[in-house]
């Protein structure tokens, strides 16, 4: 069953992320705001990838002098989602 997650990232240019997840796999992600080309690239790279793998690859990435980035915020969203569905 596909679930749609909406997440408002903090401290980045992107204002909203909408992620479709099915059985622990990222089916699609849409970013609203932010660096369009880079975020399209991330979208294409993570489609079909397991949530844990996305988190592993994107968590902790910084943007310029910021302590976070759109990829890092995406990882934070997926971590929050995982915690909400854990038993």
What pLDDT does residue 57 have? 97
- Spell out the domain ranges in the chain: 2-85
What pLDDT does residue 29 have? 97
Interhelix angle 36-46/70-85, rounded to 10 degrees, is 40
Euclidean distance between CA atoms 28 and 19, whole angstroms: 6
What pLDDT does residue 87 have? 43
What pLDDT does residue 52 have? 97
Instruction: Tell me the pLDDT tens digit for each residue of 24-77.
Output: 999 999 999 999 999 999 999 999 999 999 999 999 999 999 999 999 999 999
pTM: 0.94
Taking domain 2-85, whether its CATH number is 1.10.3470 is answered by no
């Amino acid at each position: 069953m596909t679930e749609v997650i909406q997440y408002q990232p903090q401290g980045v240019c992107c204002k909203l992320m909408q992620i479709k997840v099915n059985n622990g796999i990222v089916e699609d992600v849409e970013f609203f705001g932010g660096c369009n080309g880079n975020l399209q690239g991330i979208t294409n790279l993570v489609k079909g990838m397991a949530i844990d793998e996305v988190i592993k690859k994107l968590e902790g990435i910084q943007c310029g002098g910021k302590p976070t980035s759109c990829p890092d915020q995406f990882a934070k969203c997926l971590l929050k989602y995982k915690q909400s569905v854990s038993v």
